[in-house]
Amino acid sequence: MNERSEPAVGLKAKTLRHPLIRKLSNFTVLSLEECDAIESATTKIAEFAAGDDVIQRGDRTGGVNLLLEGFACRYKILEDGRRQILAYLVPGDLCDLHVFLLRRMDHSIGALSRSKVATIPQSAILGFTNSYPNLTRALWWTTLLDEAITREWVVNIGQRTAYERMAHLFCELFHRLHAIGETAGKSYPLPVTQATLGDTLGLSNVHINRTLQDLRRDGLISFNNGTVTIKNLAKLEAAAFFSPDYLHLLDVTEPFA
């Protein structure tokens, strides 16, 4: 029908429609009862424009936000204005499951593009954890996955050069988006400016610009109009010292035939 990649794991048509169920299905088989519980808890849906904050540091929300469509990011800002992006969120990711257990947000979440967000009531989550051990473990698993990615970001920023670092980011996003069927061939959307990439990788916008040119010159990627195109995945991964194990994806299918 189009060039979009198939979702990684085969699932029943019904569950596929719900991005959280699809995500959790990478970890466990949810019962029909559990699926129904999730679906009936995600009815309240809000829209955000690019740049809007979904939730801010210090907030104690009444519910947990689930990204249904669009891109968002976690970020923190230091007193003097320096900003660090901590994670990219893609459809199916939970924004602030933290708040359910930690008392308040220690960082903010902003929409990077026009986004749809469902809010699951606090009480629903509490109910899940009281009644559905399997679902609880699945939700817990998603937070462990987030943590694994954050750990790799520490390695990325701490040890890799600008060139390797940027290559690594593009690899990670490719694999994550491929797993949820949001890639189109060798391309995927990344609705950010070069300055935002700088806040992601701990580099200045000027240096981002030059490093991007280097990657393009070496035939590894291109990045235009919010779209990343991978020209040579093998070389990109080698340049990044990329190893996908930390993403804990069940499917390790070769992305390119």
List the one residue from 31, 56, 123, 159 that touches a second copy (CB under 8 A).
159
> Closest separation between CB of residue 77 and a second copy, Å?
9
227 binds DNA (CB under 7 A): no
How far separated are the first and last CA of the chain, in Å rounded? 18
Q: Which of 178, 41, 22, 50 is nearest to 113 (CA)?
A: 50
Closer Cβ to DNA, 143 or 209, answer by number: 209
Closer Cβ to DNA, 5 or 156, answer by number: 156
83 binds a second copy (CB under 8 A): yes
CA separation, residue 168 to residues 159, 215, 224, 233 (Å): 12, 12, 18, 11
Label the pairing between strands 72-77 and 108-111.
antiparallel
> Closest separation between CB of residue 206 and DNA, Å?
4
194 binds a second copy (CB under 8 A): no
141 binds DNA (CB under 7 A): no
User: With contact defined as beta carbons under 8 Å apart, do 160 and 241 qualify?
Assistant: yes
Label the pairing between strands 53-55 and 108-111.
antiparallel
Structure token pair of residue 11: 């699932």
Q: Write out the residues near a second copy by the rule CB under 8 A.
A: 27, 58, 74, 76, 78-80, 82-84, 86-87, 97-98, 101-104, 106-107, 129-130, 133, 136-137, 140-141, 143-148, 150-155, 157-160, 201-202, 241, 245-246, 248
